[in-house]
Chain A
Amino acid sequence: MLFSRISRIQRTSFNGCGWLLSHRPDNRHQFFRSESPRSCTDSTAQKVLGCREFFSWGLPALHGFRHKIHHQSSSIVEEQEDPFSLVADELSLVANRLRSMVVAEVPKLASAAEYFFKMGVEGKRFRPTVLLLMATALNVSIPQPFPSEPVDALSKELRARQQCIAEITEMIHVASLLHDDVLDDADTRRGIGSLNFVMGNKLAVLSGDFLLSRACVALASLKNTEVVSLLAKVVEHLVTGETMQMTTTSEQRCSMEYYMQKTYYKTASLISNSCKAIALLAGQTAEVAILAYEYGRNLGLAYQLIDDVLDFTGTSASLGKGSLSDIRHGIITAPILFAMEEFPQLCAVVDQGFDDPANVDLALEYLGKSRGIQRTRELAMKHANVAAEAIDSLPESDDEDVRKSRRALVDLTHRVITRTK
C-alpha cells in the first residue's frame, strides 16, 4: 500500500513523508512532499519531478541530506535562506536528547518507545524546525554592561529550555501517532512497519502512554506552570480531534465549521501552543506570545488545507491524480465541503458513503464543476498570509540572526502553500 491511512494524512501530514529536492531550470529550490517514502523509489515519479537528488528521512541518505542542503543553499541568492538548514545542527542535538529521554528500564518498552526516534525515521521534523526558528526569532537582546559570560549562560539555559519544548512536542506528537495507528489498525508509518503492526497493539498503547508520561516529566522540569497548562491542553485537543473524527454524525460531516474545529484540534493546536510556549519561556509579552500562537495556528491550518487539496490533485493540477485517500476513507475535507455549498446534491452522495467507487467518481465530478479546489487554496493562502503577518508584526530587531529566522519563518508560509506534493 503506497499511501498512508487517512487519519495520519489528516493530522500528521508533517511527518510520514519524505521530501524531494528538485532541480528546476530556474534554479529555485523547492521542496516537494511525497506521500510515502516508498513512492520516492518509483523512478516514474522521479522523472516527473525532475528529481535527481533523492533523500528521505527513512533512509540512510539522511546523513547526506544536511550536507546536500548546505551545498545547495550556497548557490542560491542569499535572500532565500533555507529554513531547515538554519537549524539543522540544533535539530540533531534535539534528536539525540530525545532519544536519550525515551530510554526505559524494561527492554521491550525501551525498544518500543525508541522506535520512531531512531536514526532515519524521525520524520521531517517540521515542528521542531518551526519551534527552533521561532526561538531565535523571538530572541530578546540583553544589554551587556558587564562581561558577557553570565549573559551567555542565561542565553544557553533559555535555549536549552526552548529545545526542551521541541523535544516535548515531538514526544507528544509521536505518542498520539502510536495510539492513532492502533485505532486505525495501520500497518505502516514513516515508511516502516507501524509499532502496533510490528510489536502488537498492547505495546503500542503502552509506549504511547510512556512517551506521554516522559513528556509530562520533561514539562514539569521547566518549572513554568503556564507552559505546562498549554501543552496539557494540547494533549486534550489531540484526543478530542481524533474522537471528533471517529464519531462524526452525518450533519457534522457536512459542516465546514466542524471540520475547521477538528483540524485545529488535530493539526494546528500542537504547533500553535508550542510556539506560544517558546514565547513564554523567552519571557516575551503576552502580545508577542499571541503573535507566536497565531503564526503556528495559521501555518498549521494552511498546511492541512493544502494537504486536503493535494489528496485530490496529487502532482497534477487536475483532479483525480491524487491518492484520494481521504474521500475513500469517508473523510470529507475542505474542497468537498466547499463543493457542497455550490451543489447541495453532493450532500446526498456524501451521506451514502464512499464504499462504492461510483460515488467517489460522482463526488469528483461535482468537485471538478465546483470551485472547491480553488476556494480551498484561497483559504489556505489567507491563513498563510496571516501567519506571515504575525511574524512581520513582531517588535523590530537589529540582530541579524533574529531577522534571518523571521525571514525563514515567513518563507515557510510560502512553501506550505506552493508545494505540489
Chain B
Amino acid sequence: MVVAEVPKLASAAEYFFKMGVEGKRFRPTVLLLMATALNVSIPQPFPSEPVDALSKELRARQQCIAEITEMIHVASLLHDDVLDDADTRRGIGSLNFVMGNKLAVLSGDFLLSRACVALASLKNTEVVSLLAKVVEHLVTGETMQMTTTSEQRCSMEYYMQKTYYKTASLISNSCKAIALLAGQTAEVAILAYEYGRNLGLAYQLIDDVLDFTGTSASLGKGSLSDIRHGIITAPILFAMEEFPQLCAVVDQGFDDPANVDLALEYLGKSRGIQRTRELAMKHANVAAEAIDSLPESDDEDVRKSRRALVDLTHRVITRTK
C-alpha cells in the first residue's frame, strides 16, 4: 500500500515498513485480536460459502484498519522526528537524518494520504470520522508537548490528557472502528474503545517508569531520555505532589545534569514510581474488565482472542523493557 509512483517517495515511505524494522507491531496485534474477539457468529442455515465470503470480506476490512493505523502511526513518527531533530528511530538512522527533513515531511504526507484513500475505500463515514479525529489528536498531543507552560508541565491532568492524545487515542479509536465494521452495537463499540484507551494509558505509564528504572528495579538505570529532554512524566509528577520543592528544579530545566541527579534523588525518596505502577495497574484492570464485559460467546476462537487481549493487559504491566 505504500508503493508510490515516484521512486524517491517509495523508498522514503517504505523506510519504516521494510522487513526487520516494523517495530513491535503492537497495535496491529491488538486490532487483529480485537477483530476476532468481536466476531459475531452468524447463524448458518444454508451452505457456508456465502457466509464465508462475508466473513472474509469483513476480516479484510478489519485488517485494513490495522494497516491504516500503522500508516497513521508511522506518518506521525516521521513528522515528529522532523520536529525533534531525532537521529535514530527503531535502531536505524531516522528518515530525516538520512534523507533530509523535506522528504520526511513529504513521506509523512504521503502515508497520510494513502491512509485517507484506504479509509475512504471502507465506505464507512463513521470510521473515517474516528480515524480523522485520531490524526487531530496526534497533532494536538504533540503540540501540547511542544508548547507546555511551566504550570501545565506540573499538572498531572494535563499530562494524562496529552498522553491520551499522543498514545491512547490511536489504539482506542481503531479498536472502536474494528467494532463498528463488525456491525456491533454501540455498547460493544464503547467497550472496545475503553479497552484500547486503558491499555494505551497503562502502556505509556509503564513506559514512563522504565525510562527511569530500565532493566533494573532501581532508579537511574533507565535511559532517562524523557527527563533529559525536559519531558516531565508521571513518576516525577507524583513525586512533585510529595515534594513541592521539586517544582523549582523542574522549572529550571534539565540541561544541567546536576538537576537530573537532584530530581532522581527526590524521586527515589518519593513514592512516585510505585504510584505510577499502581495507576498503570488500575488502567490495565479496567481494560481487562472491558473484555470480560463483552457479550458471551461459545466460539473457541473468540474466547481465545479475548483471553489473549486480557493477557496483554498483564504483559503491559509486568514487562521490564
Tell me whether A109 and B143 are in contact (CB under 8 A).
Answer: yes
Q: A243 interface residue, CB < 8 Å from B?
A: yes
Task: With both chains docked as a complex, state the minimum distance between the C-beta of A359 and any C-beta of chain B, in angstroms.
Answer: 25
A68: chain B residues at CB < 8 Å are none
Given contacts A206-B139, A244-B6, A247-B7, contact A225 B123 (CB under 8 A): yes
Q: Contact partner of A242 among B7, B79, B106, CB < 8 A? A: B106
Chain B residues 73-124 with CB under 8 Å of chain A are: 76, 79, 82-83, 101-103, 105-106, 108-110, 112-114, 116-117, 119-121, 123-124
Task: With both chains docked as a complex, state the minimum distance between the C-beta of A286 and any C-beta of chain B, in angstroms.
Answer: 18
How far is it, in angstroms, between the C-alpha of A19 and the C-alpha of B169 when the chains are bound? Answer: 44
Tell me whether B139 and A109 are in contact (CB under 8 A).
Answer: yes
How far is it, in angstroms, between the C-alpha of A201 and the C-alpha of B100 when the chains are bound? Answer: 13
A183: chain B residues at CB < 8 Å are 102, 105-106
Tell me whether B119 and A212 are in contact (CB under 8 A).
Answer: no
A229: chain B residues at CB < 8 Å are 117, 120-121
Task: With both chains docked as a complex, state the minimum distance between the C-beta of B257 and any C-beta of chain A, in angstroms.
Answer: 26
How far is it, in angstroms, between the C-alpha of A105 and the C-alpha of B9 when the chains are bound? Answer: 33
Tell me whether B132 and A213 are in contact (CB under 8 A).
Answer: yes
Given contacts A213-B132, A228-B125, contact A247 B140 (CB under 8 A): no
How far is it, in angstroms, between the C-alpha of A214 and the C-alpha of B5 when the chains are bound? Answer: 27
Q: Interface digits, A159-202 against B, CB 8 Å rule (1 contact, 0 not)?
A: 00000000000000000000100110000000000000000011
Tell me whether B101 and A201 are in contact (CB under 8 A).
Answer: yes
Given contacts A106-B144, A210-B136, contact A246 B120 (CB under 8 A): no
Name which residue of chain B comes closest to A230, CB basis. B120
Q: A409 interface residue, CB < 8 Å from B?
A: no
A222: chain B residues at CB < 8 Å are 125
- Interface segment, one of A53-61, A92-100, A136-144, A232-240: A232-240
B132: chain A residues at CB < 8 Å are 213-214, 216-217, 219-220
Given contacts A201-B82, A203-B143, A243-B9, contact A232 B116 (CB under 8 A): yes
Tell me whether A105 and B140 are in contact (CB under 8 A).
Answer: yes
Q: A221 interface residue, CB < 8 Å from B?
A: yes
Best-surrounded residue of A201, A207, A225 (most CB of chain B within 10 A): A225
A239: chain B residues at CB < 8 Å are 9, 106, 109-110, 113
A244: chain B residues at CB < 8 Å are 6
A242: chain B residues at CB < 8 Å are 106
Given contacts A217-B133, A236-B114, contact A182 B143 (CB under 8 A): no
Q: Interface digits, B130-141 against A, CB 8 Å rule (1 contact, 0 not)?
A: 011111101110
Tell me whether A240 and B133 are in contact (CB under 8 A).
Answer: no
Task: With both chains docked as a complex, state the minimum distance between the C-beta of B137 and any C-beta of chain A, in angstroms.
Answer: 8
Tell me whether B139 and A236 are in contact (CB under 8 A).
Answer: no
Task: With both chains docked as a complex, state the minimum distance between the C-beta of B124 and any C-beta of chain A, in angstroms.
Answer: 8
Name which residue of chain A comes closest to B146, CB basis. A202
Q: A411 interface residue, CB < 8 Å from B?
A: no
Task: With both chains docked as a complex, state the minimum distance between the C-beta of A56 and any C-beta of chain B, in angstroms.
Answer: 30
Tell me whether B119 and A243 are in contact (CB under 8 A).
Answer: no
Q: Contact partner of B139 among A201, A210, A221, A235, CB < 8 A? A: A210
How far is it, in angstroms, between the C-alpha of A70 and the C-alpha of B144 when the chains are bound? Answer: 45
Q: A45 interface residue, CB < 8 Å from B?
A: no
Q: A71 interface residue, CB < 8 Å from B?
A: no
Q: A104 interface residue, CB < 8 Å from B?
A: yes
A212: chain B residues at CB < 8 Å are 112, 135
Name which residue of chain A comes closest to B128, CB basis. A220
Q: B221 interface residue, CB < 8 Å from A?
A: no
Q: A382 interface residue, CB < 8 Å from B?
A: no
Q: Interface digits, B1-14 against A, CB 8 Å rule (1 contact, 0 not)?
A: 00011111100000
Tell me whether A232 and B119 are in contact (CB under 8 A).
Answer: yes
Chain B residues 221-248 with CB under 8 Å of chain A are: none
Tell me whether A206 and B83 are in contact (CB under 8 A).
Answer: yes
Task: With both chains docked as a complex, state the minimum distance between the C-beta of B164 and any C-beta of chain A, in angstroms.
Answer: 12
Tell me whether B6 and A243 are in contact (CB under 8 A).
Answer: yes
Tell me whether B143 and A246 are in contact (CB under 8 A).
Answer: no
Tell me whether B120 and A221 are in contact (CB under 8 A).
Answer: no
A210: chain B residues at CB < 8 Å are 136, 139-140
Name which residue of chain A comes closest to B138, CB basis. A209
Residue contacts A-B, CB under 8 angstroms, 11 given = A183-B106, A217-B129, A220-B126, A220-B128, A221-B125, A232-B113, A235-B117, A239-B9, A239-B106, A240-B9, A247-B6
